[in-house]
Chains A and B, each alone.
Chain A
Amino acid sequence: MSLQKPVMRGLLAKRLRFHLPIAFSLAIAAALAFKFGVTEPRKKAYAEFYKNYDNVKEFNAMREAGVFEGVRPSGE
Protein backbone atom coordinates (compact mmCIF):
# COMPACT_ATOMS: atom_id res chain seq x y z
CA MET A 1 0.00 0.00 0.00
CA SER A 2 1.77 3.13 -1.19
CA LEU A 3 1.42 6.45 0.56
CA GLN A 4 -0.61 9.27 -0.90
CA LYS A 5 1.08 12.53 -1.70
CA PRO A 6 0.69 14.85 1.28
CA VAL A 7 0.54 18.64 1.18
CA MET A 8 4.12 19.86 0.95
CA ARG A 9 3.81 23.58 0.21
CA GLY A 10 2.82 26.54 2.29
CA LEU A 11 2.91 24.71 5.61
CA LEU A 12 4.40 27.66 7.51
CA ALA A 13 1.96 30.08 5.91
CA LYS A 14 -0.92 27.88 6.98
CA ARG A 15 0.39 27.72 10.53
CA LEU A 16 0.95 31.47 10.74
CA ARG A 17 -2.47 32.19 9.28
CA PHE A 18 -3.91 30.31 12.23
CA HIS A 19 -1.58 31.28 15.04
CA LEU A 20 -0.67 34.91 14.33
CA PRO A 21 -4.15 36.39 14.90
CA ILE A 22 -4.35 34.40 18.12
CA ALA A 23 -0.92 35.58 19.20
CA PHE A 24 -1.69 39.23 18.50
CA SER A 25 -5.11 38.96 20.15
CA LEU A 26 -3.67 37.41 23.28
CA ALA A 27 -0.91 40.03 23.45
CA ILE A 28 -3.39 42.89 23.08
CA ALA A 29 -5.74 41.25 25.57
CA ALA A 30 -2.89 40.96 28.07
CA ALA A 31 -2.03 44.63 27.60
CA LEU A 32 -5.64 45.68 28.05
CA ALA A 33 -6.05 43.47 31.09
CA PHE A 34 -2.99 45.04 32.70
CA LYS A 35 -4.18 48.54 31.82
CA PHE A 36 -7.64 48.08 33.26
CA GLY A 37 -6.66 45.70 36.05
CA VAL A 38 -3.60 47.51 37.37
CA THR A 39 -2.78 50.94 36.01
CA GLU A 40 -6.28 52.45 36.00
CA PRO A 41 -7.11 51.36 39.60
CA ARG A 42 -3.69 52.63 40.64
CA LYS A 43 -4.26 56.01 39.04
CA LYS A 44 -7.69 56.20 40.61
CA ALA A 45 -6.31 55.35 44.06
CA TYR A 46 -3.77 58.17 43.79
CA ALA A 47 -6.42 60.62 42.56
CA GLU A 48 -8.72 59.67 45.44
CA PHE A 49 -5.93 60.05 47.96
CA TYR A 50 -4.98 63.51 46.77
CA LYS A 51 -8.50 64.80 46.08
CA ASN A 52 -9.01 66.17 49.60
CA TYR A 53 -5.41 66.16 50.75
CA ASP A 54 -4.58 68.94 53.17
CA ASN A 55 -0.83 69.31 53.04
CA VAL A 56 -0.65 71.85 55.89
CA LYS A 57 -2.48 69.46 58.21
CA GLU A 58 -0.21 66.60 57.20
CA PHE A 59 2.87 68.79 57.68
CA ASN A 60 1.80 69.77 61.20
CA ALA A 61 1.10 66.14 62.09
CA MET A 62 4.61 65.21 60.92
CA ARG A 63 6.05 68.19 62.79
CA GLU A 64 4.43 67.12 66.06
CA ALA A 65 5.74 63.58 65.48
CA GLY A 66 9.25 65.11 65.55
CA VAL A 67 10.50 63.77 62.23
CA PHE A 68 11.88 67.12 61.01
CA GLU A 69 15.21 68.68 61.88
CA GLY A 70 14.57 72.14 60.48
CA VAL A 71 11.43 72.76 62.54
CA ARG A 72 10.86 71.42 66.05
CA PRO A 73 7.47 70.32 67.46
CA SER A 74 5.44 73.37 68.59
CA GLY A 75 5.85 72.41 72.28
CA GLU A 76 9.64 72.94 72.41
Chain B
Amino acid sequence: MFRAVFRLSTSGARRLARTRPCYSAPLASRCYSHGKVETDEEFDSRWVTYFSKPDIDAWELRKGMNTLIGYDLVPEPKILDSALRACRRLNDLASAIRILEAVRDKAGPHKDIYPYLIQELKPTLTELGISTPEELGIDKL
Protein backbone atom coordinates (compact mmCIF):
# COMPACT_ATOMS: atom_id res chain seq x y z
CA MET B 1 0.00 0.00 0.00
CA PHE B 2 2.85 2.35 0.79
CA ARG B 3 4.56 1.35 -2.44
CA ALA B 4 1.46 2.42 -4.38
CA VAL B 5 1.51 5.79 -2.65
CA PHE B 6 5.23 6.07 -3.22
CA ARG B 7 4.88 5.20 -6.91
CA LEU B 8 2.09 7.72 -7.48
CA SER B 9 3.97 10.50 -5.72
CA THR B 10 7.24 9.88 -7.52
CA SER B 11 5.58 9.51 -10.93
CA GLY B 12 3.65 12.72 -10.34
CA ALA B 13 6.74 14.61 -9.29
CA ARG B 14 8.72 13.14 -12.13
CA ARG B 15 6.21 14.21 -14.75
CA LEU B 16 6.58 17.77 -13.54
CA ALA B 17 10.34 17.60 -13.36
CA ARG B 18 10.90 16.08 -16.81
CA THR B 19 10.25 18.27 -19.83
CA ARG B 20 6.92 17.13 -21.19
CA PRO B 21 7.14 15.30 -24.51
CA CYS B 22 4.19 16.09 -26.78
CA TYR B 23 2.02 13.02 -26.24
CA SER B 24 -0.59 14.40 -28.62
CA ALA B 25 1.67 14.86 -31.65
CA PRO B 26 3.21 11.87 -33.43
CA LEU B 27 6.26 13.85 -34.53
CA ALA B 28 9.15 13.10 -32.21
CA SER B 29 10.61 16.56 -32.84
CA ARG B 30 9.98 20.11 -31.78
CA CYS B 31 7.86 20.76 -28.76
CA TYR B 32 7.60 24.53 -29.03
CA SER B 33 4.78 25.97 -27.01
CA HIS B 34 4.63 29.10 -29.15
CA GLY B 35 4.53 27.56 -32.61
CA LYS B 36 1.48 26.18 -34.35
CA VAL B 37 1.10 22.42 -33.95
CA GLU B 38 0.37 20.68 -37.23
CA THR B 39 -2.94 18.82 -37.24
CA ASP B 40 -3.14 15.17 -38.21
CA GLU B 41 -4.88 16.09 -41.47
CA GLU B 42 -2.18 18.61 -42.40
CA PHE B 43 0.47 16.02 -41.62
CA ASP B 44 -1.26 13.39 -43.76
CA SER B 45 -1.83 15.68 -46.73
CA ARG B 46 1.77 16.91 -46.57
CA TRP B 47 2.97 13.33 -46.94
CA VAL B 48 0.43 12.44 -49.63
CA THR B 49 1.71 15.44 -51.59
CA TYR B 50 5.32 14.38 -51.03
CA PHE B 51 4.78 10.96 -52.58
CA SER B 52 2.50 12.33 -55.30
CA LYS B 53 5.32 14.21 -56.99
CA PRO B 54 5.13 12.97 -60.61
CA ASP B 55 8.89 12.87 -61.11
CA ILE B 56 9.82 11.62 -57.65
CA ASP B 57 13.13 9.81 -57.69
CA ALA B 58 14.20 6.65 -55.94
CA TRP B 59 16.21 8.49 -53.32
CA GLU B 60 13.28 10.71 -52.40
CA LEU B 61 11.05 7.65 -52.12
CA ARG B 62 13.49 5.91 -49.77
CA LYS B 63 14.11 9.09 -47.79
CA GLY B 64 10.41 9.74 -47.46
CA MET B 65 9.64 6.23 -46.31
CA ASN B 66 12.51 6.14 -43.82
CA THR B 67 11.46 9.47 -42.35
CA LEU B 68 7.84 8.39 -42.19
CA ILE B 69 8.72 5.15 -40.43
CA GLY B 70 10.65 7.14 -37.83
CA TYR B 71 7.49 8.79 -36.53
CA ASP B 72 5.39 7.52 -33.64
CA LEU B 73 2.50 6.50 -35.87
CA VAL B 74 1.42 3.97 -38.46
CA PRO B 75 0.93 5.84 -41.75
CA GLU B 76 -2.62 6.40 -42.92
CA PRO B 77 -3.88 4.35 -45.88
CA LYS B 78 -3.91 7.42 -48.10
CA ILE B 79 -0.24 8.11 -47.45
CA LEU B 80 0.61 4.48 -48.20
CA ASP B 81 -1.51 4.60 -51.35
CA SER B 82 0.46 7.62 -52.54
CA ALA B 83 3.75 5.88 -51.70
CA LEU B 84 2.73 2.70 -53.54
CA ARG B 85 1.83 4.71 -56.62
CA ALA B 86 5.24 6.36 -56.42
CA CYS B 87 6.76 2.87 -56.41
CA ARG B 88 4.70 2.12 -59.52
CA ARG B 89 6.06 5.19 -61.27
CA LEU B 90 9.56 4.09 -60.35
CA ASN B 91 8.90 0.47 -61.45
CA ASP B 92 9.94 -0.64 -57.96
CA LEU B 93 7.84 -3.61 -56.87
CA ALA B 94 10.37 -4.59 -54.21
CA SER B 95 9.95 -1.29 -52.38
CA ALA B 96 6.18 -1.56 -52.63
CA ILE B 97 6.16 -4.92 -50.86
CA ARG B 98 8.76 -3.67 -48.39
CA ILE B 99 6.46 -0.78 -47.50
CA LEU B 100 3.78 -3.29 -46.56
CA GLU B 101 6.24 -5.23 -44.42
CA ALA B 102 7.37 -2.00 -42.76
CA VAL B 103 3.91 -0.87 -41.74
CA ARG B 104 3.13 -4.30 -40.39
CA ASP B 105 6.23 -4.04 -38.23
CA LYS B 106 5.37 -0.48 -37.21
CA ALA B 107 2.11 -1.64 -35.73
CA GLY B 108 4.09 -3.76 -33.28
CA PRO B 109 1.89 -5.67 -30.84
CA HIS B 110 -1.30 -4.06 -32.18
CA LYS B 111 -2.40 -6.81 -34.50
CA ASP B 112 -5.57 -5.08 -35.65
CA ILE B 113 -3.82 -2.31 -37.57
CA TYR B 114 -2.25 -4.27 -40.45
CA PRO B 115 -5.42 -6.13 -41.50
CA TYR B 116 -7.25 -2.82 -41.51
CA LEU B 117 -4.57 -1.25 -43.73
CA ILE B 118 -4.66 -4.16 -46.18
CA GLN B 119 -8.45 -3.89 -46.27
CA GLU B 120 -8.23 -0.20 -47.12
CA LEU B 121 -5.42 -0.67 -49.65
CA LYS B 122 -6.91 -3.73 -51.41
CA PRO B 123 -8.25 -1.74 -54.40
CA THR B 124 -4.87 -0.06 -54.89
CA LEU B 125 -2.98 -3.33 -54.50
CA THR B 126 -5.19 -5.00 -57.08
CA GLU B 127 -4.97 -2.07 -59.48
CA LEU B 128 -1.18 -1.87 -59.29
CA GLY B 129 -0.67 -5.64 -59.14
CA ILE B 130 1.17 -5.61 -55.81
CA SER B 131 1.17 -8.86 -53.85
CA THR B 132 1.20 -8.75 -50.09
CA PRO B 133 4.02 -10.47 -48.19
CA GLU B 134 1.44 -12.97 -46.92
CA GLU B 135 0.41 -13.90 -50.47
CA LEU B 136 4.06 -14.44 -51.36
CA GLY B 137 4.69 -16.48 -48.23
CA ILE B 138 7.54 -14.23 -47.13
CA ASP B 139 5.83 -13.03 -43.95
CA LYS B 140 6.86 -16.06 -41.93
CA LEU B 141 10.44 -16.50 -40.81
Q: Are B73 and A10 in contact (CB under 8 A)?
A: yes
Q: Is A37 an interface residue (CB 8 A)?
A: no
A interface: dominant SS? helix
A3-15 near B? 1/0 per residue, CB < 8 Å: 1111111111110
Instruction: Tell me, in angstroms, the Cα distance from A3 to B108 when the chains sit together.
Output: 18
Quote the shortest CB–CB distance from A11 to chain B (angstroms).
6
Instruction: Tell me, in angstroms, the Cα distance from A11 to B110 when the chains sit together.
Output: 9
Known pairs A10-B25, A17-B23; list 12 more (Cβ under 8 Å): A2-B119, A3-B112, A3-B116, A6-B110, A8-B73, A8-B113, A9-B74, A10-B24, A11-B72, A11-B73, A21-B11, A24-B11
Interface residues, chain B, with chain A CB atoms under 8 Å away: 3, 6-7, 10-11, 14-15, 21, 23-26, 40, 72-76, 107-108, 110, 112-113, 115-116, 119
27 A–B contacts from the bound complex (CB under 8 Å): A2-B119, A4-B116, A5-B116, A6-B112, A8-B73, A8-B75, A8-B113, A9-B72, A9-B73, A9-B74, A10-B23, A10-B72, A10-B73, A11-B74, A11-B108, A13-B21, A13-B26, A17-B23, A21-B10, A21-B11, A24-B11, A24-B14, A25-B6, A25-B7, A28-B10, A29-B3, A29-B6
